[in-house]
Every structure is written in C-alpha cells, then in structure tokens.
Amino acid sequence: MIRSGRLTDSQRKAIDQHWPHYVVDYKAQPLALKSLFPAASELIVEIGFGMGDSLLEMARNIPTSNFIGIEVHRPGIGKLLHGIAEHGLSNLRVICHDATEVLENCFENESIDKILILFPDPWPKKRHNKRRLIQGDFVDLLVRKLKRDGRLHLATDWESYAEQMMNALENVTALVNQNGPGRFWDQPERPVTKFEQRGKRLGHDVWDLLFAKSGL
C-alpha cells in the first residue's frame, strides 16, 4: 500500500521533477542493476528509509557503494529525491512499493551485500505485535537475498522489539551474530536517524543488531 501523507510544496515539486530519474518503477521481475548504476560495486538496500536523511548521508559518504531505498511514504520519497538531485548522486535509487514484493520479485537470490532496516514500525501494542516486519518468514526472505557473508543491520528503540529481533535472527542457522550470541551492537556504524533522535528525547534506548550470512 502506498502511503500518501501530506506533501510539502518542495516534496511535491521534487516528486514531479525527479521521479522519472531516480525512482525505479516496480515490476515483478529482477532489476537490471548494471543499467541502474554506472559502476559495479557492493549493493546496499534500505527497507523503510522514512524521510531518507540517513540513507542520503550514507550514499554521499560512501560513493563507491550502490544504494537502493524501498519506501511507500511519499513525503519521505519526495524529500530524498530532492537530496539526490541536489547532490547529483548516481549511486542511489528508490523503489516505491511493498518491500516484501520488491525483495521477492526484483532481486535475485544472493544478490545483496547489505540490508538495512532501521527503526521499523514497532507496533507497540501487544495485540499488534504480529504486524511487526521482523518475523520468521520475512527474515528467511532477507537471508535468501543476501550474498554469502552479506550483512543484515537492524535497529529499534523498543526493547520488546529488539528482543524479538534478536530471537528471530538467532533462530536462523545461516545467520551469525557479529557481536557474539545474544549481544547487541554497541557502537553501530550508521548515521543517527530522526526516529532515533525522537526516541532518545522520549527516553528510549536504542538497540542495533548486526548479523552476517554464513559462507558455509
């Protein structure tokens, strides 16, 4: 489902001007990655990039890597498109569609070097926990799409979700916790997100997880 939200004038203008250049229209077929990016490099995919600030910062700071952001929130897409155009980035593209369908249909198995899911909707009410993105079937899909030795980086500011994430990932034999069994990543290598800043203002801690797909 595409989430419209209220667009600012600048976000609407960015969508109108830059959508054809930086947004990849969803088709249920593998992406032509070689045509999307001028230089072959590691592929980093962020699922649910929100307003896109941290994704834009990563793409600017690591010009030798290629990035694809998946998001259905139009204001966030508009803001990110403005940033991509402003900085003339050729290593970042966007897909506006359901992440599960995009992963399943647009990426070959073992084609992604790193997947980022930073501060997904925590669905904090217990009766809504089943709506959380990080569940067994979805984790299996992530693992299939990761290359051998590829990395999966998750983050949340909800402790119960962090525990669920840890349990879900450590129950997958193909994944190895890069910080040791049951341990979170104390000094994650990523920009601080707006969701993280908001959570800290509310007194929330932050939990990052880094797992790698076993090369066996």
Active site residues: 121
Q: How distant, in Å, are the alpha carbons of 84, 100, 117, 181 from that of 193? A: 17, 23, 12, 26
List beta partners, residue 67.
44, 92
Record the tokens describing residue 60, joined without a space.
């600017």
Torsion sign over Cα 83, 36, 109, 216: negative
92, amino acid identity: L
Letter for the amino acid at 173?
T
A 10 A CB-CB count for 140 gives 12
Residue with tokens 């929330």: 204
Compute the chain's Rg from CA coordinates: 17
Direct distance between the N- and C-terminal alpha carbons of the chain, in angstroms, rounded to an integer: 37
SS (H, E, C) 127-156: HHHHHCCCCHHHHHHHHHHEEEEEEEEEEE
